[in-house]
């Protein structure tokens, strides 16, 4: 067991946990088609767009050396699986909010975040808006499932390999 673990930078830790909370809230307050047109889910939009806004600073902080090298406790295949899992989460952190933004624009629902008006990224249509809405919903569910598996792997590392993985991302 390593004595001195290298932790993620404070900025990456702050963004990691804020993103996790924002994704969870966005998911819990999400609503489907008809009700979106009738009552725009402002909190859903705000949390989802905040998730998107945090991706770029997160990637910059990583490139600037804020992430420690991967722990090799589970062998090279598990290191590769963790890298692919993290990449998939990053992909969803961009794709889910973007498809949601597109869906809201197609539905013609104004995105007014407590006074801050966010422009539409597509022309509004009447009736059905096409597959983007389903893609967004599937992506929204997928991100929760993947994050659950990711959290389970983190716990597995911590308590089975005893490599102190969780401490690398511990806020305090």
Site residues, ligand HEM (CB under 6 A): 12, 16, 19-20, 23, 26-27, 30-33, 36, 44-45, 48-49, 51, 62, 67, 70-71, 82, 86, 89-90, 93, 96-97, 100-101, 103-104, 107, 109, 111, 133, 136-137, 140-141, 143, 147, 150-151, 154-155, 165-166, 168-169
Rounded Cα distance between 39 and 163, Å, is 47
- Measured from the CB atom, is 122 or 150 closer to ligand HEM? 150
Residue from 158, 106, 171, 168 nearest 136 by CA: 106
Rounded Cα distance between 29 and 35, Å, is 12
The three-class DSSP label of residue 150 is helix
Residue with tokens 């009700």: 35
CB atoms closer than 10 angstroms to residue 18? 14
Q: Determine the distance from the C-alpha atom of residue 48 to the mean position of all C-alpha atoms in its chain, rounded to a whole number.
A: 8
Least distance CB 53 / ligand HEM (angstroms): 10
- Measured from the CB atom, is 137 or 171 closer to ligand HEM? 137
CB atoms closer than 10 angstroms to residue 116? 9
Least distance CB 66 / ligand HEM (angstroms): 8
Least distance CB 19 / ligand HEM (angstroms): 6
Residue 35, exposed/middle/buried by CB under 10 A (0-12, 13-18, 19+)?
A: exposed
Least distance CB 33 / ligand HEM (angstroms): 4
Least distance CB 13 / ligand HEM (angstroms): 8
- Measured from the CB atom, is 122 or 154 closer to ligand HEM? 154
Q: Are 164 and 145 in contact (CB under 8 A)?
A: no
- Measured from the CB atom, is 141 or 162 closer to ligand HEM? 141
Residue 111 per-residue DSSP state: E
- Measured from the CB atom, is 151 or 160 closer to ligand HEM? 151
């Amino acid at each position: 067991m390593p004595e001195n673990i290298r932790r993620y930078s404070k900025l990456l830790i702050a963004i990691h946990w804020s993103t996790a909370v924002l994704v969870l809230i966005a998911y819990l307050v999400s609503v489907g088609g008809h009700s979106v047109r009738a009552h725009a889910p402002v909190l859903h939009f705000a949390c989802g767009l905040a998730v998107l806004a945090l991706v770029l600073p997160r990637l910059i902080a990583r490139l600037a050396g804020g992430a420690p090298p991967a722990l090799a406790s589970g062998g090279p295949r598990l290191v590769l699986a963790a890298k692919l899992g993290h990449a998939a989460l990053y992909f969803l952190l961009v794709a889910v909010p973007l498809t949601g933004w597109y869906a809201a624009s197609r539905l013609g629902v104004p995105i007014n975040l407590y006074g801050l008006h966010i422009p539409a990224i597509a022309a509004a249509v009447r009736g059905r808006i096409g597959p983007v809405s389903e893609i967004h919903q599937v992506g929204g569910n997928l991100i929760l499932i993947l994050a659950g598996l990711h959290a389970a792997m983190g716990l597995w590392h911590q308590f089975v390999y005893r490599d102190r993985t969780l401490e690398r991302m511990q806020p305090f």
